[in-house]
Structure 1
Amino acid sequence: MHNQGHPVEALALARAAGAAMYARDRASQAMGMLLGEIRPGYARMSMPVRTDMLNGHQSCHGGYIFALADSAFAFACNSHNHNTVGAGCTIDYLAPGRLEDVLTAEAVEQALAGKSGVYDVKVSNQDGRLIALFRGKSIRIAGEVVPTHI
């Protein structure tokens, strides 16, 4: 049985890994991020722009936009249930985030070979305006997010 091109088992494992990671992810929780969807090689997260996230220009501080993209990247690259960390990333800011915007980051796996992966993340506001583009490179380390062998 398949769901969106993925075996049901892989989808269930991605969801379990996402739930386990989110439960431990105090940073993403503190910034108001929510995990909207996760499947193998994909994650979508959202974050409302609050007053305490505004910079001196009264737009969302780039660090918060980066954090949202980085979190979506982390969830996408851990969606295969292998402990995976970021090895490097870049971001391009294209438009400002404004107070009370709801920013959404969609992370999509572009390549996965051996222990290395490449992920692209698009950050948009609630109107679909592109706010930032992020590319992350991942490296798999030892262990699983959710133990499958007991």
Structure 2
Amino acid sequence: MSTDTTSAVDQPDPRQLMEAMAANNPAFRELGVEIIEAGAQRSRFAMRVKPQHTNTFGVCHGGVTFALADLAFGFTCNARGERSMTAGASIEYLAPIPLGAYLYADVTEAAIKGRNVYYDVRLHLEDGTTTAIARGRMRILGGPVITDPEANS
């Protein structure tokens, strides 16, 4: 739930901000993350689990799963239009993610307290199986996320 009182006219376009961020984020590109739905309070991302994302046992490495969750809630918060950074996060792993699976990260804004914004992330497979749940805390630093939104369109 947002307490922002600025008008919709003053709000940046979340997809445009996320796409500009993605163009400048090597981790996002290297993991092959896709923006499915873009919003400042709710969004969805996805990635295909490739061989380079797996661990010794042939399933998605927990660090890759965590990276997807962190990127997802980070992009969602920055879609508010103010520069923000991850201040804390935790994850609970519930099921292995097989090689070749499409992994989704659904992000929901949970709370705002001062300059801290909290997000819940549900990571799941195409069939709906929840593989992990994460909670992230973003700290709003202020200032523009990107200087020229048209620069990366």
| TM-score above 0.5 | yes
SS at match of 1:124: strand
Task: Please show how residues 1-150 of structure 1 align to structure 2 within 5 Å.
Answer: 9=9, 13-147=13-147
Secondary structure at 2:142 match in 1: strand
CA contact (8 A) 1:20 1:145 kept: no
How much identity, in percent, do the aligned residues show? 34
Letter in 1 for 2:15: R
Distance in 2 of aligned mates of 1:31 and 1:138? 21
Size of the aligned set, in residue pairs, is 142
1:77 offset after TM fit, Å? 1.0
Worse-matched range after superposition: 89-98 or 10-19:
10-19
Q: How far did 1:22 drift?
A: 1.1
The alpha carbon displacement at 1:12 in A equals 5.2
- The TM-score, its normalising length taken from structure 2, stands at 0.86
Specify the code of the residue in structure 2 equivalent to 1:51: P
Distance 2:8 2:47 in 1: 28
Unpaired runs of 5+ in structure 1?
Answer: 1-6
AA aligned opposite 1:34 = E
Gaps in structure 2 of 5+ consecutive residues:
1-6, 149-153
Q: Is the 8 A contact 2:11 2:81 kept in 1?
A: no
Query: What is the SS of the residue equivalent to 1:71?
Result: helix
Q: Runs of 4+ in structure 1 displaced over 4 angstroms?
A: none
Bigger proportion of residues as strand = 1
Contact residue 82 and residue 140 of structure 1 kept, 8 A: yes
> 1:40 Cα shift?
2.1
What secondary structure is seen at the aligned counterpart in 2 of 1:103?
A: strand
Query: Which 10-residue stretch deviates more, 8-17 or 79-88?
Result: 8-17
Report the Cα offset of residue 112 of structure 1: 1.7
TM-score between both structures, scaled by the size of structure 1? 0.88
Deviations 1:19-54 (A, max 9, x none): 211111111111111111111212211010111111
Amino acid at match of 2:57: H
1:3 is matched with none
Change (3 A) 1:99 1:112: same
By how many angstroms is 1:11 displaced?
A: 6.7
Contact preservation (8 Å) 1:16, 1:146: no
